[in-house]
Amino acid sequence: MELICLIDSGSTHNFINERIAGILKLPVEPTSPFNVKVANGDPLQCNGKFRNTPALLQGIPFTITFYSLPIIGLDVVLGVQWLRKLGTVQCNWDKLTMDFLWKGEQHHLQGIKGQPIKASPLKTMAKDLKHNNSLFAICVETTSTVFPEGIHPEMKLLLDQFPDIYQKPSQLPPEREINHRINLKEGTNPINVRPYRYAHFQKAEIEKQIRATISSHPYMIKLGSLASENPGAPYSWRNGLILYKNRVVVPPKSDLTLKIMQEFHDSPSGGHSGILRTYKRVAPQFYWPSMRKQIQEYIAACTVCQKNKTVTSSPAGLLQPLPIPHQVWDDIAMDFIDGLPTSHGKNSILVVTDRSQSKPKK
């Protein structure tokens, strides 16, 4: 039976279409089911294994172990599991060829060259739909540069029926017969998931370390008992984590706080963006006592920031000595001192200083 084979260096195993395996009546070996993520990102479940299956690739005999997979559009996928047996392979991507040494002989594989696009017959389309393939219709339509004048009569009639929609509102909207709403599916909870700025594997690893710390850190044990005994407290449990106002509680003075600050400040997404911006990124997601102070101390000790960031304030100029006055009241300075306790309706005083005596007069 002639099959279409894809040689994919991005695939870890060798796969065969479940339908093809059934037609060939290959002896299946039960294996533990596992999911395989295909090119479009969807996971497909693999349930069977076909060990030491004989196959001919353009006349070259091989013995290949396949896993069953409900793939669409292909019959066989040969991945790294098969490629690693070939050793050194010379590929020409322009001519779609592979040259390699197998069992002491030089072999050559020629890929299928692209065919011109043509209309698909109805029989082929029906066959593709039967195998759960997706079909798309693409039509080319010429656009007209002539725009119609005015509004279509039917559209104008529809707009005249509801003039209040396009008028500038002067009050609250009137009560409608039907209120629009988006209903959740039955049995689902309201969506209240906090977005995370970092990758999912980093989020899972941080939460894993926090769960491991909850059972041993005295501070976390105290908060855990508080969240369990007092439902009205700002602390709560969710998925094995202690939350404070929907923020994950992190043990203070632990390695986790350092890792979080490194991720939100030192990483490419953090970009050494300063104290306030780093705090604004961490605070909506995590909580620990004296977080702002600890972030400030961490950034102040960051060597990258110290070496590359400049002081934004303008430099002070040279100090100019003032001339010495020759007589009393020759040079005076006046200023207001406010913020004093109110007395007789007044909380400010005017201070006049004679520079020759340096004694203030009020």
Q: What is the pLDDT of residues 108-156, one digit of tens each?
A: 888 887 767 777 777 777 776 666 666 666 676 766 666 667 788 888 8
pLDDT tens digit sequence for 165-180: 777 777 777 777 877 7
Give the DSSP H/E element, type plus range, for residue 243. strand 241-244
Which of the four pLDDT bands, split at 50, 70 and 90, describes residue 219? low
Which of the four pLDDT bands, split at 50, 70 and 90, describes residue 236? confident
Asked whether the predicted pLDDT for residue 181 surpasses 80, the reply is no
Percent of the chain exceeding pLDDT 70 equals 77
Which of the four pLDDT bands, split at 50, 70 and 90, describes residue 74? confident
Asked whether the predicted pLDDT for residue 207 surpasses 70, the reply is no
The mean pLDDT value for 1-16 works out to 83
The mean pLDDT value for 68-97 works out to 84
The pLDDT, as a whole number, for residue 262 is: 86
Which region, left, alpha or beta, applies to residue 201 given φ > 0 means left and ψ of -120 to 50 means alpha? alpha
What are residue 101's phi and psi, to 5 degrees?
-105, 125
Percent of the chain exceeding pLDDT 90 equals 1
* More reliable by pLDDT, 241 or 272: 272
pLDDT tens digit sequence for 259-283: 888 888 888 777 888 888 889 888 8
**What is the separation, in whole angstroms, between the first and last Cα of the chain?**
109
What are residue 106's phi and psi, to 5 degrees?
-85, 130
The pLDDT, as a whole number, for residue 112 is: 82
Q: Using an 8 Å Cβ cutoff, are 108 and 98 in contact?
A: yes
Q: Hey, what domains does the chain have and what are their CATH numbers?
A: 5-110 (2.40.70.10), 200-308 (1.10.340.70), 332-361 (no CATH)
Asked whether the predicted pLDDT for residue 194 surpasses 60, the reply is no
Which of the four pLDDT bands, split at 50, 70 and 90, describes residue 191? low
Q: Using an 8 Å Cβ cutoff, are 243 and 233 in contact?
A: no
- How far apart, in whole angstroms, are the C-alpha atoms of residue 92 and residue 99? 9
